[in-house]
Amino acid sequence: MTRDVDGWRANRYIGEIRHQGRTLGVKPCLDVETIMSSISTILNVQVLPRTAARSTDTTSAVTQLLAALWRASVLTAGQHALPRAGEKVSSHGLAVRGRLDIAATARRRATGHRELVSARVVRTYDNAPARAVVLADRYFDQRLVGANWRGARLDEQLAALRTATGTRPQIPTLHEIRTARYSPITIKWRRAAELSWRILNRDPLGGAADSESTHGILIDVAELWELFVLHCVGLATDQVVRHGTTTRTAGHLARSAVDPHRTMGRLYPDVVVGEDPITAVIDAKYKRLWR
């Protein structure tokens, strides 16, 4: 953060910081409604409007923004399937259910038992990624009371996950989320589950503001603005639009017009329009132009 004649500034960040019972709200250079509108456009979701009674409440806006980002991540993950995982279940008896576990059966016979031990894989939604998502949904539901912020599709998906995980799911560890078995269809649930885990464990909007620790959440608006510009360019042209800062192209991109073999540095613009030839290069800036 910096300080000038107009007061303290957080430059490209918005959010809140809490310490010993006090909350520092970090507001954007643009008004909050403009930021909410931009996020709604980027994510193709509607960020809830603030009530008149809380028109200056930065916490309310940050809560809605974080919920919108989380919602978009979960909806992207669940485009094709829910996070179903295989769980190995063992059975004892005179009949084989699944595949015979020869080693376990031999050990059981050695102790005088006559039962066979078999194993089968049961597909279930009760797994680490699902529990993280369900608990993160509960986290937001407690802070957005009375608001229909999920939408019909997310409501349907979470209803199935809640049924599988039960009323008191335990918070999984990050290791459990990362080592869970994902198929090519469900691999996107890993990112949604990791985001859910970070929300639950860091509790960016929690009520522990009277503790000695300092905590909170800051969101990089410059990156969100860049995505908004990218989205608008995609709507404005039929040409190929690329996010230049995510390119994996090696080598120099800028070359001399006089000597094509002469390179002029590594240029990675925010947005590149067209392929052969490139028709536009756009750089998104989120900053104050004066004062």
Angle at the Cα of 170 (from 83 to 87), degrees rounded to 5?
A: 45
Q: Tens digit of pLDDT for each residue in 65-82?
A: 778 778 888 988 888 888
Which pLDDT does position 175 carry in this prediction? Answer: 92
Q: Tens digit of pLDDT for each residue in 13-53?
A: 776 676 666 777 776 666 666 666 666 666 555 544 443 33
What is the rounded distance in angstroms from the CA atom of residue 218 to the CA atom of residue 62? 9
What is the rounded distance in angstroms from the CA atom of residue 171 to the CA atom of residue 189? 16
Q: Are 147 and 48 in contact (CB under 8 A)?
A: yes
Handedness of CA 37, 40, 43, 48 (dihedral sign): positive
Which pLDDT does position 248 carry in this prediction? Answer: 53
Query: If 0-12 CB within 10 Å is exposed, 13-18 middle and 19+ buried, where does residue 136 land?
Result: buried
Q: Tens digit of pLDDT for each residue in 155-198?
A: 889 998 999 898 899 999 999 998 888 888 888 899 899 989 98
Q: What percent of the chain has pLDDT over 70?
A: 65
Which pLDDT does position 33 carry in this prediction? Answer: 65
What is the rounded distance in angstroms from the CA atom of residue 60 to the CA atom of residue 56? 9
Q: What percent of the chain has pLDDT over 90?
A: 11
Which pLDDT does position 36 carry in this prediction? Answer: 66
Q: Which residue has the higher pLDDT, 169 or 93?
A: 169
Q: Which residue has the higher pLDDT, 254 or 235?
A: 235
Which pLDDT does position 137 carry in this prediction? Answer: 92
Which pLDDT does position 56 carry in this prediction? Answer: 42
Which pLDDT does position 4 carry in this prediction? Answer: 60
Cβ neighbours around 244 below 10 Å, total: 21
For residue 133, is pLDDT > 90?
yes
For residue 241, is pLDDT > 50?
yes
Domain ranges of the chain: 10-82+126-223, 85-124, 237-282
For residue 229, is pLDDT > 90?
no
Which pLDDT does position 210 carry in this prediction? Answer: 45
For residue 132, is pLDDT > 90?
yes
Which pLDDT does position 135 carry in this prediction? Answer: 94
Query: Distance of alpha carbon 246 from its chain centroid, rounded?
Result: 18
Angle at the Cα of 288 (from 60 to 44), degrees rounded to 5?
A: 45
Which pLDDT does position 2 carry in this prediction? Answer: 59
Which pLDDT does position 10 carry in this prediction? Answer: 63
Q: Tens digit of pLDDT for each residue in 195-211?
A: 899 888 865 554 444 44
Q: Which residue has the higher pLDDT, 112 or 30?
A: 112
Q: Determine if the pTM surpasses 0.75.
A: no
Q: Which residue has the higher pLDDT, 182 or 122?
A: 182
